[in-house]
Structures are given as structure tokens and as C-alpha cells.
Structure 1
Amino acid sequence: MSSTFAVIYTYTDDTDLREATRPTHRDYLRGLDTLLVAGAWVPGEAPGGLLIFRAEDKAAVQAIVDEDPYTKAGVVADAQIREWAPPLGPLAGQFT
């Protein structure tokens, strides 16, 4: 059975590297059938982003993070992976 996982990326301050790697990173994410939604924090927030996955376990999500071009290029300074069970809201039923 699949579970829902939130991945919180914290990026390095190297915006040039991030910009150069972004197309490959986005292509990689577009090819994942486990990705539900992803996006960067808005300007004014610390550099990073949030990705939501449906996967069998945390190890499967870790493998996705490890293969992300952002991770391989050194854009990601930290990646937190947390299993998530949203109980409320109009979309909550889609995550169970």
C-alpha cells in the first residue's frame, strides 16, 4: 500500500547553479509517476521547496531524492522526508 510523503528541500545559496540545473530537475520530476505536486517557496522565503509523493515507503522516496539532478548537482543542502497523513481539508481524501 502506498503512503504520502512530504519532502522539504533546503537549497544552497548558489542561485546560478540552481538556475542552470532547473530544467533538468523539472524534467526529472515530470517523469515521476509518484509525484503529486511540487514547487519552490516564493521569493522572500528561505530558498527551497516542497514535494509531495505517493510511494511504498520512505526508502523509495529517498531513492528519488538521491537521483534528483538538484541533489546530484549540489543544489539541495538538506532534504527532509516525512510521512504525511492529512486528515482535514477538501483534498485530504485524495491522500489516503
Structure 2
Amino acid sequence: MATTFAVIYSYTDDSALRDDTRPAHRDYLRGFIDDGTLLVAGAWAPGEAPGGLLVFRAEDKAAVQAIVDKDPFTTAGVVAGADIREWAPPLGPLAGALTGQA
């Protein structure tokens, strides 16, 4: 049974490296959108610390860690830290879908 995981990326301050790597990062993530593993992803808004949020449905945390480890943002050194947390939101219009109850 798949579980929902939130991944919080913190980026380095190297915006040029981030910009150069972004196309490969997005291409890599598109494959996980296509297979239903990645539900949503995006960078924090301007004015926030560099980073982003990704929400996955996967069998376990190790599967998500493997995705993060191979992300071009990680391999190129854009990601300074990745916090992976199991997430089971109880409220809101998407809660059932995110917890597999819908």
C-alpha cells in the first residue's frame, strides 16, 4: 500500500547551478508524475529561503530516498538538505486522496 511522503528541499545559494540544472531536474521528475508517484512539486515563492516541496506516493521512505538520491538537483549539488517525512493529513478536500482513503 502506498503512503504519502512530503520532501522538503533546501537549496544551496548557487542560483546559477540551480538554473543550469533545472531542466534535467524537471525532466527527471516528470517520469514520476507520469507513473503517479509524484503528486506535486515546486519551489518556494520568491522571498523565501531557496528550496521546495515535493509530495510523493510510494511504498516506503526508502523508495522516496532513492528518488531524491538520483534527482539531478541532488547529484549536481543544488540540494543542501532533503527532509523526507511520512505525511497523513486528516483534514481538507485532498486529505482522502493523499492518505489512500478516497
TM-score normalised to structure 1 length: 0.99
The residue type paired with residue 65 of structure 1 is V
Q: Residue 86 of structure 1: which of 85, 89, 100 is its match? A: 89
Distance 2:93 2:3 in 1: 18
For the residue of structure 2 that corresponds to 1:59, the secondary structure is helix
Equivalent residue of 1:31, what SS?
Answer: helix
CA distance in structure 2 between the aligned counterparts of 1:9 and 1:56, rounded to whole angstroms: 20
Q: Does 1:71 align with 2:87?
A: no
Q: Report the counterpart of residue 10 of structure 1 in structure 2.
A: 10
The alignment status of 1:28 with 2:31, answered yes or no, reads no
Q: Which TM-score applies when normalising by structure 2?
A: 0.93
**Cα-to-partner distance string for 1:65-92 (whole Å, 9 max, x where unaligned):** 0000000000000000000001000111
Deviation readout 1:53-75 (Å, 9 max, x if unpaired) = 00000000000000000000000
2:50 to 47, 50, 54: 47
- Over the aligned positions, Cα root-mean-square deviation in angstroms equals 0.4
How far apart are the structure 1 equivalents of 2:94 and 2:84? 21
Q: Structure 2: any 5+ residue segments left out of the alignment? A: none
CA deviation after TM superposition for structure 1 residue 45, in Å: 0.3
